[in-house]
Structure 1
């Protein structure tokens, strides 16, 4: 009997498919890959993140990342869709209370998401990647246009609703970029209530102003 020879009943694994030991526990492994992807994109940005690096951080083979998600772009889109989920609840702020107070409600909601450490980290991954890479930016545009801006515009019964929603979003994203990503002072250290008080009237003007 030859030592180290494969047993006769061991079927060869097709190239490009993860082995049974690599495939882990299905959904749990997929979630682990997504968590690792969010961390990698957050720390390195889209350009410097690789499928191999994501696989290493998740403790799996690169073939398993491709098996679940496909290309790096598809991994990024899957990761940010999950990460962006809290912000997608923002349109609910349009429906709660008087229309002339919607700017404050929306602003308070968005900065509440940013101030929460659990939701801030994945948002940083999205923004940092989108501002440094066109592929990542295209993914971000698809997500924010289809799932956030379109929903907000649909709740504003005014002319140019889509443009209004985009201008409001630009105001909020711009302030968030300077405060949380670039960390420009004194904006980065200002209290969140002070930020809401200054930004909310501008957002209100974009959404419902003449």
Structure 2
């Protein structure tokens, strides 16, 4: 009796501990390039070199995969939240520097581009942006719930600047150094976060 061909395994391959990471890496790249709607499950699987059933095995569906990419492939919420929560005397400058510096990094810029492009074209992705980014920043920062509007104003202001600088490529903003940009927007972000006006914090000595 002729045996029927064995089916290609669709679960996790024994010993292949990098499969999940390969999927997340491929998803990050394609979400950044094509946005949430444009990056198909099949294309992500092909880029990762796996069967598309593996994506469902690890992540159930594309929204869950997208959320996991944001959560597992970025320290964005933690960095911003920590900057806001640990530098009350200069929270505006610290938050502006932490957020805008993430856009300057080759490591985190693709994640941010993915979030922005996806949220602009997909209501589902916009909801995930709120749940995975804003809520985590809020939790990490320790900002009281009554100040959530202040945090939202600061966040949207910084987002607009980042999009103008890195997506629209608006010349006056592109031409500024990061330090110059933070010096310009820091006082406004500080006022959003604290409701007070404050002179810029004094520069710290190297190693301080």
Question: Shared topology, TM-score over 0.5?
Answer: yes
Paired residues of 2:11 and 2:53 also in contact (CA < 8 A): no
**Residues 206 and 85 from structure 1, CA distance in 2 versus in 1: closer, same or farther, beyond 3 angstroms?**
same
The number of aligned residues is: 196
> TM-score of the superposition, structure 1-length normalised?
0.83
**Residues 52 and 198 from structure 1, CA distance in 2 versus in 1: closer, same or farther, beyond 3 angstroms?**
same
Unaligned runs of 5+ residues in structure 2 are 197-208
Paired residues of 2:150 and 2:193 also in contact (CA < 8 A): yes
Residue in 2 that maps onto 1:32 = 22
Larger Rg: 1
Residue in 2 that maps onto 1:131 = 120
CA distance in 2, matches of 1:6, 1:80: 45
Paired residues of 2:81 and 2:139 also in contact (CA < 8 A): no
Aligned to 1:6, which of 3, 7, 25? 3
After TM superposition, list the pairs within 5 Å mapping 1:27-106 onto structure 2.
Answer: 27-97=17-87, 99-106=88-95
Q: 1:207 Cα shift?
A: 0.7
Residue in 2 that maps onto 1:173 = 159
Q: Is structure 2 residue 98 aligned with structure 1 residue 112?
A: no
Q: What secondary structure sits across from 2:171 in the alignment?
A: coil
Q: 1:19 Cα shift?
A: 5.2
After TM superposition, list the pairs within 5 Å mapping 1:16-27 onto structure 2.
Answer: 18=10, 23=13, 25-27=15-17
Q: 1:48 Cα shift?
A: 1.2
Q: 1:151 Cα shift?
A: 3.5
Residue in 2 that maps onto 1:198 = 184
Q: 1:76 Cα shift?
A: 0.8
Unaligned runs of 5+ residues in structure 1 are none
CA distance in 2, matches of 1:19, 1:76: 20
Residue in 1 that maps onto 2:111 = 122
Query: How large is the RMSD of aligned CA atoms in angstroms?
Result: 2.4
Q: 1:89 Cα shift?
A: 2.2
**Residues 61 and 185 from structure 1, CA distance in 2 versus in 1: closer, same or farther, beyond 3 angstroms?**
same
Paired residues of 1:87 and 1:110 also in contact (CA < 8 A): no
> TM-score of the superposition, structure 2-length normalised?
0.84
Paired residues of 1:83 and 1:123 also in contact (CA < 8 A): no
